[in-house]
Structure 1
Amino acid sequence: MNAALPDNYLLQETQSSTIDCTLRSPVQSLPESGMFNVFASNELLKSVRNDSLTAYPCRYNYKISLLRGYSRAEYADKVIDIEPNALIFSTPKIPFYWTPQYSEEDTTGCVFSAEFLLPVKSGVVLDELPIFKAGGFPVFQLSAEDVARVESIFERMQEELSSSYVYKYDLLRTYVLELIHFGQKLQPAPVSQPALGASARVSSLFMELLERQFPIDNPAQQLRLRTAKEYADQLAVHVNHLNKVLKETTGRTTTELISQRLMQEAKRLLKQPDWTIADVADSLGFTDVAHFSKFFKQQLALAPGAYRHQVLV
């Protein structure tokens, strides 16, 4: 069995008939349409293991993948053993570990940003769809007939992505929606009982979810999750259980770990001369500068302005 990989690797295919087996960052965005791409390769795991590729964190993107080999998906509250020919739906709001059972797996899929399927463009709200909700069952076993149908959709996606059709992005949205509705009509895959080491898995997934929010790249970017309850909800566990697990595995509470990471990012941003203290406070989810200053001083016994003066002088 191979080591578990966080679901944060994207294998890109070029907009031609030739597969590009490199991981690229950033993914090419579509003009005024959000981001969309198709990927297809059986070289992903070998390349990642050989460290010949660069991991691109798809923390803001959704993925729909057709997995043709045996694997396992480990979420905070459940483990799903995946048989060959499975369709899996991934949301950036629910981290998990994917463990392939063999050295090479053939995977086909598409990746897209939330902006690609904004309600005004698609008529749907992604996070309100059952297939992308926390606590759902996003893995579906396919029959041979279903596999052929899904493969056909991905082939049409790739063909359309390479075309010069003016409205191709609208057509690509219909293909994505077709896959989503196809998946929601299927019965959920059998789910096994949580494996041993569940506490360690919850702790690891929490840390993965925490790190997905960083770094903050510009003042317009804001943290999506700030409180212990918000993290627990995303992991589909009770906040008290999450706190207990983290205390056991790390020696720190959920709030302490969040605060520690916020301070690390705050100090990094305060070293950027083009960021105002108000920018830093807003991006890190504080209601105002006074609230941020109080938090910062509690952690470091130093006001943000005084810290900035020290490091920039």
Structure 2
Amino acid sequence: MKHFSEDFNAHFLLFKSDFVKKGFVKSDIMEELLFINPDYPPIFDLEANDFNDTLYKFEKIKHETENQSPFCVEVSRLYVLQILYDYNRTCEICLLNSDKLINRQYQVVYEFRKLVDKNFHKLKTVKEYADIMHLSSKYISECIKNQTGASALSLIQNRIILEAEFLLKYSQLTIKLISNKLGFTSTSAFSRFFKGIKGISPDNYRNKQEN
């Protein structure tokens, strides 16, 4: 540490990936949060408010760990998730606002994901998003495949499934109401969609969570 000044201070957060994957956030979402994009800047400045907020979360995790209060693990996990989301959001903003030439495909993927997160309950096809973005479905699909390794359609479907799982686990809504909320034309259409991806019907999935 001889190369650092006396006022240098660092906080390290060490955890295994399984620690955050035990929460209610879907596993593949966590994989994305834990993945370090090679285009992300290794060092970046934070605004004072963001810095203080991040420091607070680190200190809360330390407090929970040292005091072993009830639900300390669950509370710490939530703080870690917040830090991961904050980190990814800050890095993406740094990339998009960078003076250097930003990878066009990365910009397309970034915009596509924002639109999906906002409209997944009513837009179900790549073409619908392509029309909004004034791009071809083929180009968007190529960008997403190159940047993430996944298909554009799978990003849409995974977002719908994530919401469906959350509603089935934590709400008292009927399958019919969940189907309507997610923009499906019928309960049977929603059930076919859910079972096609999860390999289990919405009813059986809910019952499994309750047992």
Question: Which TM-score tier does this pair reach, normalised by the shorter chain?
Answer: 0.5 to 0.7
Q: State the alpha-carbon separation in 2 of the partners of residues 48 and 231 from structure 1.
A: 35
Q: How does 1:83-98 map to 2 (within 5 A)?
A: none
1:156-203: CA deviations, max 9, x gaps?
Answer: xxxxxxxxxxxxxxxxxxxxxxxxxxxxxxxxxxxxxx9441011111
Give the letter for the 1:52 counterpart.
D
Q: Which residue of 2 aligns with 1:243?
A: 141
Q: Secondary structure at the match of 1:52?
A: helix
Q: Which residue of 2 aligns with 1:202?
A: 108
1:265 matched to 2:171? The reply is no
Q: 1:228 Cα shift?
A: 0.8
Q: State the alpha-carbon separation in 1 of the partners of residues 147 and 177 from structure 2.
A: 34
Q: Which residue of 2 aligns with 1:252?
A: 150
Q: What RMSD, in angstroms, separates the aligned Cα atoms of the two structures? A: 2.8
Q: Which residue of 2 aligns with 1:24?
A: none
1:279 matched to 2:206? The reply is no
Q: State the alpha-carbon separation in 1 of the partners of residues 163 and 203 from structure 2.
A: 15
Q: State the alpha-carbon separation in 2 of the partners of residues 202 and 290 from structure 1.
A: 33
Q: Per the alignment, do residues 202 and 273 of structure 1 end up closer, same or farther by CA in structure 2, a change over 3 Å counting?
A: closer
Q: 2:196 aligns with which of 298, 302, 313?
A: 298
Q: Per the alignment, do residues 205 and 51 of structure 1 end up closer, same or farther by CA in structure 2, a change over 3 Å counting?
A: farther
Equivalent pairs counted in the alignment come to 127
Q: State the alpha-carbon separation in 1 of the partners of residues 129 and 52 from structure 2.
A: 31
Q: Which residue of 1 aligns with 2:125?
A: 227
Q: How does 1:136-215 map to 2 (within 5 A)?
A: 195-213=101-119
Q: 1:50 Cα shift?
A: 2.0
Q: Secondary structure at the match of 2:47?
A: helix
Does the CA-based 8 Å contact 2:145-2:151 persist in structure 1?
A: yes
1:80-123: CA deviations, max 9, x gaps?
Answer: xxxxxxxxxxxxxxxx967388xxxxxxxxxxxxxxxxxxxxxx
Q: State the alpha-carbon separation in 1 of the partners of residues 202 and 151 from structure 2.
A: 24
1:109-145: CA deviations, max 9, x gaps?
Answer: xxxxxxxxxxxxxxxxxxxxxxxxxxxxxxxxxxxxx
% identity of equivalent residues: 29
Q: 2:187 aligns with which of 286, 289, 298?
A: 289
Does the CA-based 8 Å contact 2:122-2:182 persist in structure 1?
A: no
Q: Of Structure 1 and Structure 2, which has the larger fraction of its residues in helix?
A: 2
Give the letter for the 1:99 counterpart.
N
Q: State the alpha-carbon separation in 1 of the partners of residues 115 and 109 from structure 2.
A: 10
Does the CA-based 8 Å contact 2:123-2:129 persist in structure 1?
A: yes
Stretches of structure 1 that go unaligned for 5 or more consecutive residues are 1-44, 54-95, 102-193, 215-222
Q: State the alpha-carbon separation in 2 of the partners of residues 51 and 199 from structure 1.
A: 33
Q: State the alpha-carbon separation in 2 of the partners of residues 233 and 195 from structure 1.
A: 25
Q: Secondary structure at the match of 2:97?
A: strand
Q: 1:269 Cα shift?
A: 0.6
Q: 1:48 Cα shift?
A: 5.1
Q: State the alpha-carbon separation in 1 of the partners of residues 52 and 103 from structure 2.
A: 27
Q: Of Structure 1 and Structure 2, which has the larger fraction of its residues in strand?
A: 1
Q: Per the alignment, do residues 99 and 47 of structure 1 end up closer, same or farther by CA in structure 2, a change over 3 Å counting?
A: farther
Q: Relative contact order (C-alpha < 8 Å, sep 6+): which is higher? A: 1
Q: Per the alignment, do residues 100 and 250 of structure 1 end up closer, same or farther by CA in structure 2, a change over 3 Å counting?
A: closer
Give the letter for the 1:46 counterpart.
E
Q: 1:245 Cα shift?
A: 0.7
Q: Which residue of 1 aligns with 2:47?
A: 46
